[in-house]
A and B are shown apart, each in its own frame.
Chain A
Amino acid sequence: MEKISGVVAIVGENVSATSILSPEYYGESAEAIDPSVVLATASEIDLSENKEIILIVGQNFGYGSVNESVLVALQKAGVQAIIGTDIPHYVYRNGLNLGLPVFVSDAAADNCSDGETVSIDMESGVITNESTGREFPSEARLDFIKRLMAMGGVTSFIQTLREQETEGNV
């Protein structure tokens, strides 16, 4: 059963898209984004150290822009997954589409601290704080959402749909 893991980095409430990534980078490819600029104005977290990060976010994280460069930048900076509550639908959606899973869990958000190690079971959605040994459930996901996560994003899903259409199965 696949698990992802990383070091916890906590970000507060109402962190805007422009606080995660300056608009001058919107539309840029991942290669053009310097990880040291990601979240630089909103947090003391340095995402340029090439660690694998589990980002635990406050409500309304990434609000204000649907541009997915914000999520691309987080991926570039090593973010493996986002955990939080009241996450804007476009942040959730762009994350799923790009293969950056987003989990909704009050309990995990309340019981993990900066620097601790967290793992997430991609099938069950159970979040484990490896530093304390405590486990937390995440909000149930639709089968389609699980499928998108398992496929690593919507691009693989589009390929599959196209192949099915070509074979006359849809």
Chain B
Amino acid sequence: MGMTMTQKTLADAAGVDAVEVGEVIFPEVNAVSTTDISVQQIDGVLKELGSKKIFDPDRISISADHFHLNNHQKELSRIRQTRKFAQRFKVENYTPPGRRGISHIHNSESGHVIPGDVVVSGDSHASAYGAIGAVGLAVGGTDLAMAMTLGKLWLQVPESIRVTFTGEPDQVITGKDFALRMQRELGPTGALGKAIEFDGNSLEAFPIGDRFIIADSAFECGALTGLMIPHGKALEYLADQTQREAQYYLPDDDAEFADTIEIDAENVEPLIREVGTNSIFGVSGLTKTVPIDQVIIGGCAGGQIEDLYLAAKVLKYREIHEDVRLMIVPGSVQVYRRLINEGLASIFTELGASIHPPTCGPCPESTIASLAPGERGVVTSRGRSYQNGSQVYSASVAVAAATAVTGELTDPRELIAESESSGNGAPREY
């Protein structure tokens, strides 16, 4: 029986020819990524172990990406502790707040992580590394301490589900809508502990931002990781990486998958997930108005330059609704610079949007994403439920931008049709 891409990558990391689903292996990790939210836990375990040094500082990256910007003493102390930790263990790949951006985005941009790698990360969004063909494993602080001490971790080889995206999507149907369609089919536990391997001609055509969103969404179905062959736009994105030579695997023709799902563009519409529930619904089918107070476009999902161009095209020539706070969050400093240098920042600020530095702020409630009781917000990231009577919706950049214009959950196709008839079209071009 052949092996999946996940099995082949893990077998290589474990130094064996083949691995079977269900067996426990000890794969070596090519990279360990941690952030200011888990350094304290790692430090505690390393102290318990009496570890004075870590296995290979060059494979470690530490990013202070969660708590910037912040005014709370506790979070500021965490940033300081993160810096001190990096210095103590001689980790040169330390990213201070505001320097490179969100860990899995800048690690992919810079070539710290490349196709075929096995990466362990303390960030729940680690499966996003699958966008470039790396196996990203989101783990807790104890696992990170193990990986930093031994250079490997324990892992039960997962089954894989194959998800194929086909067809040519409509101009404002994005990878987010495909991802939400998959989530609706699989449900929150449909891929529990499994890997999802993505493929299909739609995927090849998607910009890198959509690939990150799709790979990240595997976690929402309970998956251990999500993985894609690094083809299509991913190759252009990776072209400037120079640090190591990538070696990645394709699944065997006779690889065994636990399930296969095919999603065709014809069946994909702009979708919205009600965060904190399992409800995913089509925005065009709404029977009542859902007013929105805050829209956040960006972060690690929706914060690539192509995403922001799409947002600008939907927003351009229109006023942001007076009741809406709109925030733009580039995913990395590289995107932030392009946002400014290519004129997008002017468009957003003229319309009244705020531009936030690249951080994880849209997710943890410690920074920018919080809502007051009774408020409703739209994010392009996964979003969090705040347990205070507010409601967050997660949707595509196009839906988020259209919603910022109308002040209520809106199908971007309707907004565009309306503006095309008035001469202000918003085609998706890259």
User: Which segment of B148-156, B252-260, B263-271, B348-356 sits at the interface?
Assistant: B148-156
Which one, A18-26, A106-114, A115-123, is touching chain B? A18-26
Apart from the given pairs A29-B44, A65-B124, A159-B49, 15 other A-B contacts in the complex at a CB distance below 8 Å:
A18-B387, A63-B188, A66-B138, A67-B37, A68-B41, A69-B41, A89-B224, A90-B139, A97-B140, A142-B156, A148-B154, A158-B146, A158-B149, A161-B150, A162-B150
Q: Does B48 contact A154, Cβ atoms closer than 8 Å?
A: no
Q: What are the 3 tightest A-B residue pairs by CB atom distance, in nearest-first order?
A: A68-B140, A89-B193, A97-B142
Q: In the complex the two chains form, is B154's CB within 8 Å of A23's CB?
A: no
Instruction: Assess A66 versus B124: contact at CB under 8 Å? Given A93-B139, A93-B143.
Output: yes
In the assembled complex, the Cα of A153 lies from the Cα of B22 at a distance in Å of 20
Cβ of A128: which chain B residues have Cβ within 8 Å of it? none
Are A60 and B40 in contact, CB atoms less than 8 angstroms apart?
no
Q: Which residues in window 269-327 of B have CB below 8 A to A?
A: 276-278
A15 to B178, CA, bound (A): 26
Contact A16 B192 (CB under 8 A): no
Contact, CB under 8 Å: A98 / B37: no
Chain B residue numbers with a CB within 8 Å of A148 are 154
Q: Are B224 and A23 in contact (CB under 8 A)?
A: no
Which residues of chain A have a CB within 8 Å of any CB of chain B?
Answer: 14, 16, 18-19, 22-24, 26-29, 41, 59-60, 63-69, 71, 86, 88-90, 92-94, 97-98, 142, 144, 148, 153-155, 157-159, 161-162
22 contacts across the A-B interface (CB closer than 8 A): A18-B385, A19-B385, A22-B387, A23-B364, A24-B366, A26-B364, A28-B40, A29-B44, A59-B189, A63-B188, A64-B124, A66-B126, A66-B140, A89-B224, A90-B139, A94-B140, A98-B140, A142-B156, A153-B142, A154-B154, A155-B45, A162-B149
Size of B's binding interface in residues, CB under 8 A: 45
Secondary structure at the B interface, as helix, strand, loop or mixed, is loop
Query: In the complex, which residue of chain B has the Cβ closest to the Cβ of A41?
Result: B387
Bound-complex Cα distance A18 to B387 (A): 8
- A residues less than 8 Å from B37 (CB atoms): 26-27, 67
Known: A86-B189, A89-B192, A155-B48. A23 touches B384 (CB 8 A): yes
B222 partner, pick from A63, A93, A94, A97, beta carbons under 8 A: A63
* Chain A contacts for B145, CB-based, 8 A: 158
Given A28-B40, A67-B124, are A94 and B142 also a contact pair (CB < 8 Å)?
yes
Complex CA distance for A26 and B149, rounded to whole angstroms: 22
B38 within 8 A of A: yes
Which residues of the partner chain B approach A60 to less than 8 Å between Cβ atoms? 188-189, 222
Do residues A14 and B385 form an inter-chain contact, with CB atoms below 8 A? no
Answer yes or no: B365 CB below 8 A from chain A CBs: yes
